[in-house]
Amino acid sequence: MDILKINHLKTQFHGLDGTAHAVNDVSLTMKKGDILGVVGESGSGKSVTALSVMGLIKPPGEIVSGEILFDGTDLRNLSEKEMRKIRGNRISMIFQEPMTSLNPLLRIRDQIGEMVMEHQNLSKKESYNYCVEMLEKVQIPHPEKRAKDYPHQMSGGMRQRVMIAMALSCNPEILIADEPTTALDVTIQAQVIDLMLNLKEQYETGILMITHDLGVIAEIAKQVVVMYAGQVVEKGDVFEIFDNPKHPYTSSLLKSIPKLGRRTQSSRPRLEEIKGVVPDLFTVRKYCDFFRRCPDATDECSKKRPALVNINSNSAVRCLKYEG
Amino acid sequence: MLQYVVKRILLFIPTIFFISLIMFFILNVLPGDATTMSGGLKRQLDEQTTANMRKQLGLDQPLHIRYFKYMKGIVKGDFGKSYLRNESVNLLISERIMPTLQISLAAILIAVGIGIPLGFISALKQGSWIDTLSMVTAVSGVSIPQFWLGLILMYVFSLVLNWLPPQGYGDGGFMHMIMPSVTLGVGYMALIARTTRAAVIEVLNEDFVRTARAKGISELAVNYRHVFKNTLILILTTVGLQFGSLVGQTVIVEKLFSWPGIGSLLVDSIFQRDIPVTQGCVLVIIGVFLIVNLVIDLLYVVIDPRIKYTESNR
């Protein structure tokens, strides 16, 4: 069953320099209890897609068109009040920056507490007990004591655990994790990911994992969506994408991952970078967005915009090589 | 914490000492003294009388001896005796301080009570007509000179509408307080509104506000628990710092409305070269300013758990 289905979502930001097409016709599907990885460089529209699902796009941003079907209902049709019942309760989100994502002036138990009080009708005291329970689940030592702490008394890894505890406290059906490990040390990263996987098993929560770290995706995701310049350029099964990437962007991304032990080889090849920068989102191009950086570009690529072509039932690619 | 408070209070002493030193010498090198000023503009006292008066007031002694005498009194809490009024400065100030505190507090209430909500709403409705209107009000509030605003208020509410008494203290009643307090509070309010607006806009962009929204709690809870609390420090700082200039502005407002406070006493004493009174007033004003800022620094601790005044982290 599809718990989340995004159809042709377009989210734009209107500014003085024009309109930024941050998310430009994105469609994706997530099965209940699955882990869907969304990969892309900064500015590819990953986070904006997530915030669109959460209904947290504020002016000057705007969802222009498309559907966000959550458990069959289009979230775009819900009132702010109805949306609030879903936010944090049935869909929750973990953000990239654990250092700044918690309110510095409130105790941890109040920050988790206000959420469970809102969605589960607990009293203040019950919410405190529940908070301690959640902190224990995310393996924070001395949870009773830590619940009374303020964020500044905790390390980054600890704060991200608090965020996870908070996000899972209402037992959501979808957890959106927006680069949850990017700001953490490598050792802490592994712990946090392990923790998320464990909790996913326990709660049967589906995870929408947004990251630019392909290693994380390879580790945990089942389905992968690769985004570039606000569009989906490739999607498919994780093994298929890693073993046999179809879009030149995906294969370039894979080549740019450092591999342990490669430097010891005699030739010492440099890491392959993707030349150039992400194209600006203000202009609508008549040619492929990846054209200027693409190693396989042909003349045709400068004349025509590729469409997303289905390869089989769950994989698709946006490249002229696979068209027609 | 207690240690910190004691330390801060002890630091008042050198501050006050230093200010009194500068003030004493500046006031005493001003042309003219109490004897020449006491005669008024037209009447000039004759040589003999002024010489006698100088001797009587101790003005014939060298400056450093006079300063030393003055400081000896200050240490004992005695601000000396007025040159012209035949009353102790302590008594003069104690009579005048209440009216000043009255309108200052009223002005702060107006400023905080209207300024903070106004700035908050402007920030939340950024770019809307409410925002534009309140910011235009705020800019005008800052730029309107008080003597002008006071005169206009007097004209409208006393002369034309005859609702409020134009001047004076009355018996310190509410009606008499309205116009001086408003005149004093408008600029302050405008400043607080602008500071609040800027602070709220800044906090609204913080990650934790996004987190709060993602929790699905009501917008009111987001605004109060997460936005407002985080803007308080900045607002409080402005309130505290501006309190100093507010007390300075009472000089104009009190003179304008014949309000018998420290401000008008200060102005009169300067014109009369009644140096002990001038100094007493200034020292009291500085004392109030120092205390207010200490209180605000202590309030920081209540608001922000990250701020602690302990020996270990200084």
Backbone angles phi, psi at B100, to 5 degrees: -65, -45
Average pLDDT over residues A97-106: 88
Beta strands (DSSP E) in A198-317 are 206-211, 223-228, 231-237, 309-312, 315-317
Q: Which of A221, A231, A220, A223 is nearest to A285 (CA)?
A: A231
The pLDDT, as a whole number, for residue B196 is 92
Q: Are strands A35-39 and A223-228 parallel, antiparallel or unpaired?
A: parallel
The number of CA neighbours under 13 Å toward the Cβ of B212 is 29
The number of CA neighbours under 13 Å toward the Cβ of A292 is 10
Task: Give the Å distances, CA to CA, from A38 to A232, A237, A288.
Answer: 9, 12, 20
The pLDDT, as a whole number, for residue B172 is 65
Question: Do the Cβ atoms of B211 and A102 come within 8 Å?
Answer: yes
Mutate to test the interface with B, among A83, A96, A101 (most CBs of B within 10 A): A101
Average pLDDT over residues A213-219: 84
Average pLDDT over residues A148-152: 91
Higher-confidence position of A273 and B111: B111
Chain B residues whose CB is inside 8 A of the A119 CB are 216
* Residue B304: closest C-alpha in chain A: A105
List b or e across B140-178, with b for residues whose CB sees 16 or more CB atoms inside 10 angstroms.
ebeebebeebbeebbeebeeeeeebbeeebeeeeeebbb
Q: B96-313: CATH homologous superfamily?
A: MetI-like (1.10.3720.10)
Question: Do the Cβ atoms of B207 and A101 come within 8 Å?
Answer: yes
List b or e across B203-227, with b for residues whose CB sees 16 or more CB atoms inside 10 angstroms.
bbebbbbbbbbbbbbeeeebbebbb
Task: Give the Å distances, CA to CA, from B314 to B115, B153, B233, B296.
Answer: 34, 49, 20, 19
* Residue A167: closest C-alpha in chain B: B215
Chain A residues whose CB is inside 8 A of the B123 CB are none
Tokens of B51: 């010489």
**Interchain CB contact of A223 with B (< 8 Å):** no
Kindly give, in sequence order, each residue whose CB lies less than 8 Å from that of residue A217, ignoring residues fewer than 6 positions away.
A37, A39, A209, A211, A224, A238
Taking a C-beta distance cutoff of 8 angstroms, is the pair A40, A212 a contact?
Answer: yes
- Residue type for position B49: T
CA dist A181 and A219 (Å) reads 13
Q: How many CB atoms are closer than 10 A to CB A56?
A: 16
The pLDDT, as a whole number, for residue A270 is 67
The pLDDT, as a whole number, for residue A132 is 92
Taking a C-beta distance cutoff of 8 angstroms, is the pair A245, A255 a contact?
Answer: no
**Domain limits of chain A?**
2-90+170-259+268-322
Average pLDDT over residues A117-140: 88
Its CATH class, for the domain covering A2-90+170-259+268-322, is: alpha beta
**Domain limits of chain B?**
2-75, 96-313
* Nearest by CB: A56 against B214, B230, B306: B214
Higher-confidence position of A83 and B30: A83
- Residue type for position B38: S
CA dist A99 and A184 (Å) reads 10
The pLDDT, as a whole number, for residue A260 is 67
Q: Which of A105, A48, A237 is nearest to B227 (CA)?
A: A105
Residue whose pair of structure tokens reads 């699902």 in the numeric block? A53
Query: Is residue A6's pLDDT more than 50?
Result: yes
If you ran DSSP here, which 8-state letter would residue A315 be given? E
CA dist A166 and A151 (Å) reads 13
CA dist A245 and A218 (Å) reads 13
If you ran DSSP here, which 8-state letter would residue A305 be given? -
Q: How many CB atoms are closer than 10 A to CB A323?
A: 13
CA dist B191 and B139 (Å) reads 8
* Residue B207: closest C-alpha in chain A: A101
CA dist B261 and B254 (Å) reads 7
Mutate to test the interface with A, among B203, B205, B210, B215 (most CBs of A within 10 A): B215
Interface predicted TM-score of the whole assembly (ipTM), two decimals: 0.84
Q: Is the peptide bond before A60 cis (omega within 30 degrees of 0)?
A: yes
Chain A residues whose CB is inside 8 A of the B219 CB are 80
SS3 B51: helix
**Interchain CB contact of A103 with B (< 8 Å):** yes
Q: pLDDT tens digits for chain B (314 residues)?
A: 788 888 888 888 888 888 888 888 888 777 777 666 665 555 666 777 777 777 777 777 777 888 888 888 888 878 877 877 778 888 888 888 888 888 888 999 999 999 999 999 999 888 888 888 888 888 888 888 888 888 888 888 888 887 877 777 777 677 888 888 889 888 889 999 999 999 999 999 888 998 998 888 888 888 888 999 999 988 988 888 888 778 778 888 888 888 888 888 888 888 888 888 888 888 888 888 888 888 888 888 888 888 887 655 44
- Residue type for position B93: I
Question: Do the Cβ atoms of B305 and A118 come within 8 Å?
Answer: no
Backbone angles phi, psi at B166, to 5 degrees: -70, -35
CA dist A109 and A127 (Å) reads 8
Q: Which pLDDT tens digit goes with each residue over A13-63?
A: 988 888 888 888 898 888 888 899 999 888 888 889 999 999 888 888 889
First to last CA, chain A: 31
CA distance B306 to chain A (A): 7
Taking a C-beta distance cutoff of 8 angstroms, is the pair B179, B154 a contact?
Answer: yes
Question: Do the Cβ atoms of B230 and A105 come within 8 Å?
Answer: yes
Q: Are strands A35-39 and A91-94 parallel, antiparallel or unpaired?
A: unpaired
The pLDDT, as a whole number, for residue B314 is 41
Taking a C-beta distance cutoff of 8 angstroms, is the pair A170, A127 a contact?
Answer: no
**Interchain CB contact of A213 with B (< 8 Å):** no
Q: Which of B187, B196, B204 is nearest to B131 (CA)?
A: B196
Kindly give, in sequence order, each residue whose CB lies less than 8 Å from that of residue A305, ignoring residues fewer than 6 positions away.
A285, A286, A287, A288
